[in-house]
Structure 1
Amino acid sequence: MDFPEELKYSKEHMWVRLEGDRAVIGITDYAQAELGNVSSVELPEPGDELEQDDSFGSIEARKTVAELYAPLSGTVLEVNSELGNAPEFINDDPYDAGWLVVLEVPDPEEMNLLMAADVYEDYVTNGE
């Protein structure tokens, strides 16, 4: 299981990489492993406004359909359109090719509500 230290994590198993006022968001290695083989993804449209902790899409896998919850508030700038043809990127490379959305983040202080890598690793290892 991979827990990159430069990322922050939500209890809903989302990761965030802050790049200035932009946040790249995806699901964690733990989450993709729990889901199994991802078969499709439903994502918001560029320009959509997201509120922290609100549902913004879903991931369908062999085992289940899982809701995606925004780890931060912001405006969707980009969605990973590659996932439409290659949802397996989420399983193969959740922290790079498998990213989901990029948000413009008006309040980077929300990052303080997310977990550091070691805290998230403990969260998933020792039970939620």
Structure 2
Amino acid sequence: MMTVPAHLRYSAGHTWLDQTGDPVTVGLTKHAADGMRYIVYVQLPDIGAELTVGQPCGSVESSKTASDVDAPASGVVLAVNAALRADPSLVNRDPFGAGWLFRIRVTDLGATMTAEEYAKLMQVPFPDSVC
């Protein structure tokens, strides 16, 4: 069953945003991570890079495919998850925790969804699937 944590915001590009702190933490959803299967490489934006909502800012590669990661919000990258260089499969194992991608100071949140809206888009029962 797909996990959709209720406290996060989601993009149609299957990224999540945790707005509980500043900067905002961004990662791939479990749906995206599961779809990639075994992630073998993650390209992250540079610290200091200015991201534009909806524009590619990195990529994720698996043994099966490669996919761009689109910025779910505009802002400046303040941190990246260096642990993913040594172990990109953290995104598969813990997409909402240790597998986070980067942190940004948001200037434009863009169009994000609540967990309930994202679950509906993914046709997942809500709130049963929320952790």
**Length-normalised TM-score, structure 2:** 0.89
- Who is 1:38 aligned against? 39
| Cα-to-partner distance string for 1:14-40 (whole Å, 9 max, x where unaligned) | 000013442100000010011100000
Aligned length: 123
Give the deviation of 1:125 after TM superposition: 2.1
Asked whether the equivalents of residues 21 and 106 of structure 1 are also in contact (C-alpha less than 8 Å), the reply is no
Identity %: 37
Give the deviation of 1:4 after TM superposition: 0.1
Q: CA RMSD in A?
A: 1.3
Amino acid at match of 1:87: P
Amino acid at match of 1:88: S
Q: How does 1:1-128 map to 2 (within 5 A)?
A: 1-107=2-108, 110=109, 113-125=111-123
Structure 1's unaligned 5+ residue stretches are none
Moved segments of 4+, more than 4 Å: none
Structure 2's unaligned 5+ residue stretches are 125-131
**Length-normalised TM-score, structure 1:** 0.91
- Which has a greater percent of helix? 1
Give the deviation of 1:106 after TM superposition: 2.5
Find the aligned partners of 1:12 and 1:62 in 2 and give their Cα distance. Answer: 20
- What secondary structure sits across from 2:122 in the alignment? helix
- What secondary structure sits across from 1:53 in the alignment? coil
Give the deviation of 1:118 after TM superposition: 1.2
| Cα-to-partner distance string for 1:91-121 (whole Å, 9 max, x where unaligned) | 00000100000001124xx26x211111111
| Cα-to-partner distance string for 1:39-98 (whole Å, 9 max, x where unaligned) | 000011100000111100100012100000000000000000000001111000000100
Find the aligned partners of 1:76 and 1:39 in 2 and give their Cα distance. Answer: 23
Find the aligned partners of 2:21 and 2:96 in 1 and give their Cα distance. Answer: 18
- Who is 2:129 aligned against? none
